Amino acid sequence: MFAIIFGIVLLVAAIVLPIIMSHAEIRGGGIASAACIVFAFVIILVSCISTVPTGHTGILTTFGRVEDRNLPEGMNFHAPWQSITTMTNKEQIFTEKNVCFSADLQEVAYTYTVKYSLLPSSASVIYKTVGTDYFNILIKPQVNNAIKAEFGLVEAENMTELRTQLQDRINTTVKEFAAQYGIELTVVIDDFDFSDAYTDAIEAKQVAEQEALRDKTQQQMETERSRQQAERAKIQAENDAAVLEIKANADAEAAKIKAQADFEVAQLEADAIAYKGEKEAEATAALAAAITSDVVAYEYAQNWSGELPTYMMGGNGALPIIDIPMGVEE
């Protein structure tokens, strides 16, 4: 950038110096006067050139009055009686520790961080209305007021649990405020702490609550254990009763089946005995009949004289038996 400005100055001097020299007397004093005029012209020209660094916006003022237009990054030309002030548009970070009170009047020491940046289009307005120290004048008080207001609505013991919600509400408030001035920002609650006395009291309360919870849990466990034991005893008794009933029914059914079987066996035995007796009687009768016939035949054979009967009894009465000779002797 310096080389560009130096080149412009040399170019202007090369153009202006011959013109001045042509109208001046070629004497020592004339040359000196011409040199002074060129030098003054160069000084005036250089004063009309200003450079705005990267990430900044230039604010143009005329005799202390802020102009409405903002100058961009790079080289800018302006009138010799005008000046340029730059304001950064880069993100800046501010961290601070402060103290406020909770809803239950407990002292809260908190640490917060603000990340903020100025929009280029708002630079001249901020410079005109507030100045370059706009963060300490506008943003910082607003952030602390928002933190104190939100913390003042919550009791100390609930702050840790509601930390995210508190931070979100604080950001909503301060972002809405900063947007009016063309400022973008984000607030982060890094940490907060309480007095030693309150911390001790909280720890004692937590210990007491834990002990009470432990006792309650132990009592609930004992109650549940007793209930389960009673339930198991009831189920066991019902099972035993069911088993006894099933066994009694099974025994009764077995006795019934055995009695039926015994009856059928006895019936079969009786039938077998009757059948045996019947068959024995039939055999005895048949034997008796057979013995009688054989005895009669035997007795007849013993008493037969060798003579054949001359008559045989038939259906139509006695028939004569004819003796036919077997052959004729010669």
Q: Among residues of the chain, what percentage have pLDDT more than 70?
A: 73
Higher pLDDT, 67 or 317: 67
Sign of the dihedral through C-alpha 164, 170, 172, 175: negative
Can you list the domains of the chain with their CATH numbers? 2-86 (no CATH), 92-194 (3.30.479.30)
Residue 262 clears pLDDT 60, i.e. is over it = yes
Residue 92 pLDDT greater than 80, yes or no: yes
- The confidence score (pLDDT) of residue 295 equals 64
Report H helices in the chain: 2-23, 28-47, 123-129, 134, 140-151, 156-159, 163-179, 196-303
The answer for residues whose C-beta is within 8 angstroms of residue 88's C-beta and 6 or more apart is: 55, 56, 118
| Average of per-residue pLDDT values in the chain | 79
- State the angle between helix axes of 163-179 and 140-151 in degrees (0 to 180), rounded to the nearest 10: 150
List pLDDT tens digits, range 202-237: 767 776 778 888 888 888 988 998 999 998 999 999
- Predicted confidence at residue 255, as pLDDT, reads 86
Residue-level pLDDT at 113: 95
Torsion angle defined by CA atoms of residues 123, 124, 129 and 135, in that order, rounded to the nearest 10 degrees? 20
CB 161 within 8 A of CB 192: no
CA distances from 35 to 29, 197, 249 (A): 10, 80, 138
The predicted pLDDT at position 277 comes to 81
Q: Name the pLDDT band for 3 (thresholds 50, 70, 90).
A: very low
pLDDT of residue 203: 67
Q: Do residues 147 and 110 make contact, with C-beta atoms less than 8 angstroms apart?
A: yes
pTM metric for this prediction: 0.51
With bands split at pLDDT 50, 70 and 90, how would you rate the model's confidence at 148? very high
For the chain, how far is it from start to end, CA to CA, in angstroms? Answer: 193
Among 13-17, 53-57, 202-206, 288-292, top mean pLDDT goes to 53-57
> In this predicted structure, what is the pLDDT of residue 184?
94
Residue 314 phi, psi dihedral angles, 5° rounding: -130, -170
Indicate the pLDDT class of residue 308, thresholds 50, 70 and 90.
low
3-state secondary structure of 154: coil
pLDDT on residue 34:
56
98 compared with 209, residue with greater pLDDT: 98
Q: What is the pLDDT of residue 79?
A: 73
Q: Which of 40-54, 93-107, 131-145, 211-225 has the lowest mean pLDDT?
A: 40-54
What is the average pLDDT across 265-292? 79
What tokens were used for 298? 């035997």
Please compute the mean of the pLDDT values over residues 180-188 and round it to a whole number.
94
Question: Which of these ranges, 247-256, 291-300, 305-314, has the smallest mean pLDDT?
Answer: 305-314
Of 138, 141, 165, nearest to 153 (Cα)?
165
- Vertex 49 angle, CA 48 and 53, to 5°: 145
| Nearest-angstrom CA–CA distance, 138 and 133 | 9
Least confident range from 14-23, 190-199, 222-231, 293-302: namely: 14-23
Crossing angle, helix 2-23 and helix 28-47, to 10 degrees? Answer: 150
pLDDT-based confidence at residue 58 (cuts at 50, 70, 90)? confident
What share of the chain in percent tops pLDDT 90? 23
